[in-house]
Each structure stands twice: as C-alpha cells, then as structure tokens.
Structure 1
Amino acid sequence: MKNERVFLVVMGGDQKGIIARVSGLLFEQDCNIVDVQQKVMDGTFVMTMLVDIGDSKLGPSGLRGALEQLGERLGLTIMLHSEAVIKAMHRV
C-alpha cells in the first residue's frame, strides 16, 4: 500500500448526490478519503477532500480525467492537486 495523497476540490451548483457520486468514483478506484469538508454557500456547493490515491490503478492523471468527466456530467468543476505541491506552495 503506497501512500500518495491529493487534495480534491469540487465546486458548482448544489444538487442531490454530489458527495455520493464523487465518493463512489473514488471507492471504485481504490482510493481512501482521509478527510472531507463541504458547505453550500449561497447555492454553490463547495467540497474539499484529502484523498489517498496510492492504491488507484489509474494514477493521478487517469483519476483526474475520470473526475473531470464526472464533473462535466454533473455540471461541476472538479480539481485534483498534489498534497506535496500544495504544501510546498504554502511553506514559509
């Protein structure tokens, strides 16, 4: 089991089933949700997840593509960012 964590950001119009669809795709790809926060702000759904994708057979680029396709189907923006890159950007 390899540990490779990414931040996943989901934004768009609030609708039923967003969390279920995104988490279902992650489950199907052998990913583990480490942490999740979600909020609806003035009708806009915003969710951030910390996800371990180390066991995913798709790898980061394949998973990014699958999530972007899901986002297109749901009318959402879904972005995947490496935890290491985000931490490096915020290092003092």
Structure 2
Amino acid sequence: MKAVITIVGQDRVGIVAMVSEILAVNSVNILNINQNILDGFFNMVMIVDMASSKVSLKDMQQILKGKGDELGLDIKAQHEDIFQIMHRI
C-alpha cells in the first residue's frame, strides 16, 4: 500500500532526517520526495510504500503527528487513494 506524507512548518535543520529515520525504523520505503522552502517555511510531500511496514497506517499517522507536535510541524500521512480523491479538481 502506498501512502502520502505531508510536512509543513518552519524550516529547520534535520526535518528530512527525522522523518526518514521514523520511516526506516518502521520498514517504510520512500519512493519519492518533493520539497521546497519558501520564506522560511518548509513544505515536503513524500510518497511511501508501506507494504513491508512494521506498523499500520493508523499507527504511523499517530507516530508522525506526535513527532510533528513536538517540533511544531504539521505532519500528516494519508492512504494514497484518499489523498488523490481529496486533491482531485
């Protein structure tokens, strides 16, 4: 199953490393990363493969949200299908 992870917040060193470490520890494979920084705000979208994950999507959502709350970042993980439906024009 693929999922979309979005991260938005004030730019700082280590955001990509922090999220990548959480994913690696839980056997989630990163397929694609798109990031940009505009006026000090960090924005990243990751497409990940959770087929071999040690945790469910729901658990991953809670882990990422908790870490985001600690660091003042908005981190969300959504099933790829939900993300596509929500962003269909």
What TM-score does the superposition give when structure 1 sets the normalisation length? 0.89
| Cα distance between partner residues in 2 of 1:87 and 1:43 | 27
Map of 1:57 onto structure 2: 54
Q: What is the aligned residue count?
A: 88
Offset at residue 87 of structure 1 (A): 2.9
| Cα distance between partner residues in 2 of 1:12 and 1:80 | 15
Map of 1:34 onto structure 2: 31
Map of 1:72 onto structure 2: 69
- For structure 1, the 5+ residue unaligned runs are none
Query: Letter of the aligned partner of 1:26 in structure 2?
Result: L
Superposed CA RMSD in Å reads 1.3
Query: Letter of the aligned partner of 2:3 in structure 1?
Result: V
- Structure-to-structure mapping, 1:5-20, within 5 angstroms: 5-20=2-17
Map of 1:44 onto structure 2: 41
SS at match of 2:12: coil
- For structure 2, the 5+ residue unaligned runs are none
Offset at residue 5 of structure 1 (A): 0.3
Offset at residue 40 of structure 1 (A): 0.5
| Cα distance between partner residues in 1 of 2:7 and 2:24 | 16
What TM-score does the superposition give when structure 2 sets the normalisation length? 0.92
Offset at residue 82 of structure 1 (A): 1.0
| Cα distance between partner residues in 2 of 1:56 and 1:73 | 23
Query: Letter of the aligned partner of 2:15 in structure 1?
Result: I
